[in-house]
Structure 1
Amino acid sequence: MFVVRAAGSPSIGRSSFLLGSGTVVSRALGFVKTIILAQTLGVVGSAGADSFAVANQLPSSIYVIIAGGVLTATLVPAIVKSALHRDGGIAYINKLMTMALVVLLGVTLLATLAAPWLVALFAGSWSTEQLALASAFAYWCLPQIFFYGLYTVLGEVLNARGSFGPFTWAPVLNNVVALLGVIAFMVVFGVDTGGERSVTDWTSSMVNLLAGTATLGVAAQALILIVFWRRLGLGFRPDFIWKGVGLRETGRVAGWTFGIVLVTQLGGIIETNVVSQASGVGASVFTLATAWLIFMLPHSIIAVSMGTVYFTRMSEHAASKKMAEVEADTSEALRNIGLLVVWAAAGLACVAYPVSTLFAGQDFFAIASLASLIQILVIGLPAFSALYVIFRVFLALGRARVLFNLTLLQVGLFCALALASSLLPLEMIAQGVAASLITSVLVQAIVSYALLRRRLSGLDSRRLRVTGLRSYVAGGVATVAGVIAGAVLGAYSEDGFALASVFGALIAMVCIGLVVTVVYALLLGLFRTSELAAVVRMVRVRIGR
């Protein structure tokens, strides 16, 4: 059920729909998990929640620094090329797997031993007691590094072989396991929606249950992919002779990609240190992480699911020197993804307050803090998703050095603005950091697109501009309509219907979402936007099947 047509299949819609549906289920479960976690630990002003957030972010941050971005960015093009070898790429995969496992095991061990120092690196302003709690969480969470790496390698090999579903659906299992862990924690240790539990009130049993089940979920996510490897007839034999099948060529691209990841994570360290100053007072690490989770939902469902399939096709066309096809893929990806992402951004901006009620309960200060972060971040959602596509075009063309320079620009600007945000009142620091991030992303997107046009001279820029202008105009009008609908439903007042209960919030979200969708679709129809018909047709066909 998970294996779709091999790379090069004419149906981008079929593959992206499969990926998107898996992402929807996974993100929905992740939403439920985060809602319960926020209700249990407190989303704003909770030192315990911030401690867990820092510790649980450490594995992904370290993994991405060491291998994550390198593997994700270089595996698909390299595996596609290795398929041209006489053995169909089997030797390459064995060598790659062996090398990845050795590196991941070593990094995981060293990181776990260094847990207290790593926590202090990301949250140096915290008290000794809060650092100790975060370190206790980190000892349980850092083994996730190995399983993140295993999931990436196994999944990207499946993607390169045209089996896209398992990589997207495996996180569902992760979220199920982690969700059960959070529910068990809530049942056993109770809820603290106001975040009043002191860091010294946390026991080892509480830490072990919450962090241990989080790591167990990541392990399950990786190990389930072994089943699908076997279904495709793939095997693994350790091979410690890492020469002879193009790893050196991959390494050249990976070197620049590593630089990109390293620079990005340095920016993340500054971000966490600045935001952590507000821990226990206002919106801090856990609040910003929750807003980012909400922000990433439409990006993951739309841009990542569709972009992953386009990336494989672009890599094939780039490897075959078919530049006209690469240009067509790029134009189609930017237009179709952009059309959906602008709609999602408009809707998310309008439902930010009701959505925040699901996480923050009836605390209006917490609701407003989380909602303001969502609304700031969503301004940059279309640019963020466009960058996802543009970066993968450059990677398919082997232009990783260009991406490094673009990332250096974005992170440098962000760090300067984020450090300036530390001068704001504690209650406003998180909002300042969010605005800094989006400002830097917008600048990066403008420069990246200009460089893309120079590299792809046959890119249909006029059509991209027309579609972009139509979608932004329609999105702006739809946002105004959604805000009016939200005001009628009391989405912006402390005692309004939309914020009074979970039921009211859900009803308001549905109503506001419908208004935004209808207005957006009607305007695009009036503008005779051809991409709208293509996207609707793709969704209708897949739902019908």
Structure 2
Amino acid sequence: MAEDRIGRASLFLASGTIVSRVLGFLKTLLLAAVIGAAGAGTNAFAAANQLPNTIYVVVAGGVLSAVLVPLIVRSAANPDGGVAYLNKIVTLGFVVLGGAAILATLLTPLLTMLVGSRMSPGVFALAVAFGYWCLPQIFFYGMYSLLGEVLNAKRVFGPFTWVPVLNNLVALAGLGAFALIFGTDPDGDRWAAGDWTGGMIALLAGSATLGVAAQALILFWFWKRAGLSYRPDFRWRGVGLRSTATMAGWTFGMLLLTTIAGFVETSIAGVSAENSTEASIYALQTAWLIFMLPHSVITVSIATAYFTRMSEHAAIGELDRVRADFSSAVRGVSVIVILAAAGLIVCAYPFARVFTGVEPLVWATGDVIIAYVAGLIGFSILFIVQRTFYSLGDTRTPFFFTLAQSVIFIVLALACIALPSSLVAVGIAIATTVAGTVQLIIAVVLLRRRLGGLDGRRIVESIARSVVALLMPVLAGVWLLIMLGGTDADGFALSSRVGALITMAVIAVVMTVLYFVILWVTRSPELRGFAEPILARLTRR
């Protein structure tokens, strides 16, 4: 019964994420059509729009996800059901986030220097102008996460994954208005850095910030629907700041490491910011968006539902059940993510063609996608490992295996400076995958010691069964890619955006059907665990 509830919650979370991600891809596609997939404006906006997310993650992002849910679960045991705790912690969060947003906006030129040190003066100045409009997003990202994590802790999972749909709709409307008023530059060579006017900057970046604000503010309405209320409470004595300071401190340190690595990445990639034929900041962000699609839809949806349950089991010291939760989550995630990773690698170049028609950029972006996706399975398992540590109230251990990852990545990323500019982006993606793989190995060893085992045999058997089932679908996918011209710039798959979309759809359907039929015939317990409750429900109807 508990697995059925987890499955239903995961499916509901996944459905919201799918809609949001589809709109996110449309937004990225429209952005490329309006201002190009490379060039001065595209990369300046990409760098500036990345800054608020990065700064927010440092200030509070991981603290909220790592610390807040377990503490809210524990506060429910208070006589008032944790209401006073919620009011205090949300008020504190708003104050910290508001202060961070104001300070970051005032320091826009300095913060932009962290990601734009290798940009030309013109592109850098444009990125600063975008930054003034984008950095207030810090407060709204924080508000969204804070209010959403409270809902997750109360087992109200839907709003957190569905409200980003509103964000994307607002941003799409802003891009549409930009195209109508100022026209378009799909090749990225119409507007040089100095051609951007104040109105163009305000509309493009302002609509992006308005979308983030909308996704945050609407959560107050869902709070009321969930029976929650909020009253500002500045009496923070007794909120448990001392007891949580150590947890939050280690998480802050971990995120600071990740952010430094991110600044190094963007700074190194900025060398090609004005070249419209080489992969640069925007290409890396687009490839990462593609990489994150299956992770967000599958891993985050399943792990979010398990995280609350893990926290409940950890709160009463039932480590055996935490271990069982971990094993179930990993097996459930890997059986689907393995297919997604194989499909993305096969379709990498058609996927890149969807976002750009510039031939050299198609191949370059496809290479970056493949380099990232090679680490997708490990990245997803690592996410579950981290959440398991967080459910145990341990943020110290994740700091150390993230430290190892950050050091390895920074060393490898700096080595990419010696590469030709056309290979820098794919070098950074390879560095990300290598560093993440080492991080996963260290994290798994440490978690195994903490839990006294990880049900490793069942996990390995499950992954091996999925890999064997994937062999025939991969061969079929590669054959279809070749037949549809996915390895030839003039072929059907790469000659147009429509051809690329049709090719990906055909390959995805064939690979998915073959994979799940093979798993079903071989009686995969993970697939049947997800599918049988759904089939039973449909049969009853």
In structure 2, what is the Cα distance between the partners aligned to 1:496 and 1:524? 33
In structure 2, what is the Cα distance between the partners aligned to 1:353 and 1:228? 40
Q: Which residue among 512, 519, 540 is the counterpart of 1:517?
A: 512
Conserved in 1, the CA contact under 8 Å of 2:367 and 2:426?
A: yes
Per-residue CA deviations over 1:408-435 (Å, capped at 9, x if unaligned) read 0001000000000111000000000000
Q: Which residue among 530, 533, 536 is the counterpart of 1:535?
A: 530
Find the counterpart in structure 2 of residue 254 from structure 1.
248
Matches within 5 A, 1:433-448: 433-448=428-443
SS in 1 for 2:129: helix
Shift of 1:529: 2.1
Code of the residue aligned with 1:236 in structure 2: it is: Y
In structure 1, what is the Cα distance between the partners aligned to 2:243 and 2:335? 36
Shift of 1:534: 1.7
Conserved in 2, the CA contact under 8 Å of 1:15 and 1:309?
A: yes
In structure 1, what is the Cα distance between the partners aligned to 2:242 and 2:384? 26
SS in 2 for 1:528: coil
- Deviating more after overlay: 372-381 vs 466-475: 466-475
Does residue 204 in structure 1 map to residue 198 in structure 2? yes
In structure 1, what is the Cα distance between the partners aligned to 2:505 and 2:220? 39
Instruction: Call closer, same or farther: CA 1:325–1:517 in 2, change over 3 Å.
Output: same
Find the counterpart in structure 2 of residue 368 from structure 1.
363
Q: Which residue among 413, 419, 426 is the counterpart of 1:424?
A: 419
Find the counterpart in structure 2 of residue 390 from structure 1.
385
In structure 1, what is the Cα distance between the partners aligned to 2:309 and 2:456? 20
Code of the residue aligned with 1:443 in structure 2: it is: V
- Deviating more after overlay: 389-398 vs 120-129: 120-129
Q: Which residue among 292, 297, 300 is the counterpart of 2:296?
A: 300
Conserved in 1, the CA contact under 8 Å of 2:66 and 2:395?
A: no
Please, what TM-score do these two structures have when normalized by structure 2?
0.96
Conserved in 2, the CA contact under 8 Å of 1:48 and 1:198?
A: yes
In structure 2, what is the Cα distance between the partners aligned to 1:452 and 1:528? 30
Q: Which residue among 394, 399, 402 is the counterpart of 1:407?
A: 402
Instruction: Call closer, same or farther: CA 1:192–1:172 in 2, change over 3 Å.
Output: same
Shift of 1:491: 1.0
Unaligned runs of 5+ in 1: none
Q: Which residue among 45, 60, 65 is the counterpart of 1:67?
A: 60
Conserved in 2, the CA contact under 8 Å of 1:14 and 1:542?
A: no
Shift of 1:280: 1.8
Instruction: Call closer, same or farther: CA 1:540–1:201 in 2, change over 3 Å.
Output: farther
Find the counterpart in structure 2 of residue 324 from structure 1.
320
Shift of 1:537: 2.8
Conserved in 2, the CA contact under 8 Å of 1:82 and 1:245?
A: no
Code of the residue aligned with 1:426 in structure 2: it is: S
Shift of 1:540: 4.6
Conserved in 1, the CA contact under 8 Å of 2:37 and 2:186?
A: yes
Conserved in 2, the CA contact under 8 Å of 1:346 and 1:516?
A: no
Find the counterpart in structure 2 of residue 13 from structure 1.
7
Code of the residue aligned with 2:261 in structure 1: it is: G
Matches within 5 A, 1:78-477: 78-196=71-189, 197-281=191-275, 282-361=278-357, 363-477=358-472
Does residue 490 in structure 1 map to residue 485 in structure 2? yes
Q: Which residue among 26, 30, 33 is the counterpart of 1:36?
A: 30
Please, what TM-score do these two structures have when normalized by structure 1?
0.96
In structure 1, what is the Cα distance between the partners aligned to 2:134 and 2:407? 29
Code of the residue aligned with 1:322 in structure 2: it is: E
Per-residue CA deviations over 1:500-534 (Å, capped at 9, x if unaligned) read 22221222111111222133224434543211222
Unaligned runs of 5+ in 2: none
Instruction: Call closer, same or farther: CA 1:210–1:541 in 2, change over 3 Å.
Output: farther
Task: Give the aligned CA root-mean-square deviation in angstroms.
Answer: 1.6
Code of the residue aligned with 1:337 in structure 2: it is: V
SS in 2 for 1:40: helix
Code of the residue aligned with 2:525 in structure 1: it is: S
SS in 1 for 2:393: coil
Shift of 1:252: 1.9
In structure 2, what is the Cα distance between the partners aligned to 1:117 and 1:541? 58
- Deviating more after overlay: 273-282 vs 133-142: 273-282
Code of the residue aligned with 1:180 in structure 2: it is: A
In structure 1, what is the Cα distance between the partners aligned to 2:173 and 2:376? 31
In structure 2, what is the Cα distance between the partners aligned to 1:233 and 1:270? 44
Q: What is the number of residues matched between the two proteins?
A: 537
Per-residue CA deviations over 1:447-466 (Å, capped at 9, x if unaligned) read 21122222222431111111
- Deviating more after overlay: 218-227 vs 521-530: 521-530
Conserved in 1, the CA contact under 8 Å of 2:159 and 2:222?
A: yes
SS in 2 for 1:11: helix
Conserved in 2, the CA contact under 8 Å of 1:331 and 1:460?
A: yes
Does residue 478 in structure 1 map to residue 473 in structure 2? yes
Code of the residue aligned with 2:255 in structure 1: it is: V
- Deviating more after overlay: 123-132 vs 94-103: 123-132
Instruction: Call closer, same or farther: CA 1:156–1:416 in 2, change over 3 Å.
Output: same
- Deviating more after overlay: 163-172 vs 521-530: 521-530
Shift of 1:188: 1.8
Code of the residue aligned with 1:464 in structure 2: it is: I
Instruction: Call closer, same or farther: CA 1:289–1:540 in 2, change over 3 Å.
Output: farther
In structure 1, what is the Cα distance between the partners aligned to 2:420 and 2:538? 49
In structure 2, what is the Cα distance between the partners aligned to 1:335 and 1:242? 41
